[in-house]
């Protein structure tokens, strides 16, 4: 864990327990998850019991306690997306990437998330990759998309 990022997030926030959620958002954004070491530092700095930091960090879906892949593939399985075949998208992602929702591929490139609504029901089924939304997704389009991300990654490694 890069401590300088955490130090900069916590700077000037000594004994300010009301800033817990804001600090957790900043940590999530900087690290991609809430590391255990960060929770300990947040607890000490803000003066919030560690159990409370953990309770808040594990309650809200905006926070994750495990690292995510570079590409977070989110499949919506809300009612509107479900009736339009979201389960087939999830099956495609799981079989193609070889991981289940909440897991990360061994190379750290992909993780799969499963959510109940991404807020674009009329355009479902929806899959997203990090902040980019893909509407009316099909298993075939998802397969091609995941392949293109893998190819892009291999090209970046090749020319790095
Ligand atoms: S149910 Fe999928 S976007 Fe709302």
CATH number at residue 90: 3.40.30.10
Check pocket membership of 120 for ligand 1, CB cut-off 6 A: yes
- Specify whether 52 is located in the same domain as 15: yes
- State both tokens at 32: 């991609």
In a domain, 65, yes or no: no
Predicted TM-score (pTM) of this structure: 0.73
In a domain, 76, yes or no: yes
Identify whether the C-beta of residue 9 lies closer than 8 Å to the C-beta of residue 30. Answer: yes
Of 21, 37, 59, which residue sits at a domain end? 59
Q: Please report the pLDDT score of residue 160 as a whole number.
A: 67
Could you tell me the residue range of the domain that residue 10 belongs to?
3-59
In a domain, 64, yes or no: no
- Specify whether 11 is located in the same domain as 77: no
Q: Bridge partners of 73?
A: 112, 129
Whole-number Å distance, alpha carbon 76 to ligand 1 midpoint, is 6
Place of tokens 């190819």: 151
In a domain, 66, yes or no: no
pLDDT in tens, 9-45: 999 898 999 999 999 999 998 988 999 999 999 999 9
Name which residue sits closest to atom 1 of ligand 1, judged by CA: 78
Number of domains in the chain: 2
Whole-number Å distance, alpha carbon 79 to ligand 1 midpoint, is 7
Residues 16 and 7: their CA atoms lie apart, in Å, by 15
pLDDT in tens, 123-157: 999 999 988 999 999 999 999 999 999 998 888 77
Check pocket membership of 117 for ligand 1, CB cut-off 6 A: yes
Whole-number Å distance, alpha carbon 134 to ligand 1 midpoint, is 12
- Specify whether 80 is located in the same domain as 147: yes
Ordered alpha helix ranges (H), the chain: 3-10, 20-31, 36-46, 50-59, 79-83, 86-97, 139-158
Of 59, 83, 105, which residue sits at a domain end? 59
- Specify whether 49 is located in the same domain as 75: no
* The length of the chain, given as a count of residues: 160
β-pairing, 110-115 vs 71-76, is: parallel
- Specify whether 78 is located in the same domain as 147: yes
* Residue 98: other Cβ atoms inside 10 A: 11
Q: What are phi and psi of 29, to 5 degrees?
A: -65, -40
């Amino acid at each position: 864990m890069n401590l300088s990022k955490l130090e900069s997030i916590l700077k000037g926030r000594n004994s300010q327990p009301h800033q817990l959620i804001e600090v957790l958002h900043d940590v999530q954004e900087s690290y991609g998850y809430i590391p255990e070491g960060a929770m300990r530092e947040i607890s000490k700095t803000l003066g919030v019991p560690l159990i409370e930091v953990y309770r808040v960090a594990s309650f809200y879906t905006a926070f994750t306690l495990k690292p995510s892949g570079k590409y977070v593939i989110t499949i919506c399985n809300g009612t509107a997306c479900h009736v339009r075949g979201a389960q087939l998208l999830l099956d495609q992602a799981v079989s193609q990437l070889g991981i289940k929702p909440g897991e990360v591929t061994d190379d750290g490139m992909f993780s799969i998330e499963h959510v109940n609504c991404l807020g674009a029901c009329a355009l479902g089924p929806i899959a997203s990759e990090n902040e980019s939304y893909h509407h009316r997704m099909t298993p075939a389009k998802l397969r091609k998309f995941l392949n293109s991300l893998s190819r892009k990654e291999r090209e970046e490694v090749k020319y790095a």
